[in-house]
Amino acid sequence: MRVMNAYFKGLLFLLFFIALHHGYELTGWHILTPICGVNESVFQHLKMAFWSYLFISLAEYLTAARRARKQGDYWYPRLLATIVVPWVAMIIWYLMPALAGRVDSLAVEIDWAIFATYVTGVAGAFIERGLKESPPLELKALIIVFFLISVFLYTWFTYNPPYIDVFVNPETLKG
């Protein structure tokens, strides 16, 4: 089956992420709350990465529908990448503060965010491509379970955030 180019998928991931980052803020539509960012917390960015990757995988499936349906294991690598991508985004994003400390330039921070998000999308495509073989039943079950848990957590904690640093909106910490 012909699959989307990893670098193009990274670009689409970036565009979907930007749309989800600003979607709720621009529209105010509460129906978007489960998938869009509602504040600047790390958790909201993880959520946007999750849904962005899932949506581009769905778009890829729809554009290659007949070929994709013939490949019975189309979804397992993509769901695994969808689960992992938010954590890849966090790893890449935190390279900047680890290596440069606090960055006071908004332009540098935005440039880094764009670069990190694009690289995350490309990494997701490489992760899914690394699973060319049909995964064993146990891995398929784990992928489904972790995917469903992720959907639950990203939705539940949007409405009921616990007090853990990942969920703190940094805008509320500014004095």
Beta-carbon count within 10 A of 120 CB: 26
7-32 pLDDT, tens digit each: 999 999 999 999 999 999 999 999 99
Q: Identify whether the C-beta of residue 78 lies closer than 8 Å to the C-beta of residue 128.
A: yes
Q: Is 13 helix (H, G, I), strand (E, B) or coil?
A: helix
Q: What is the pLDDT of residues 67-118, one digit of tens each?
A: 666 666 888 999 999 999 999 999 999 999 999 998 899 999 999 999 999 9
Residue 1 has pLDDT above 60, yes or no: no
Quick check: 80 and 143 in contact, CB under 8 A?
A: yes
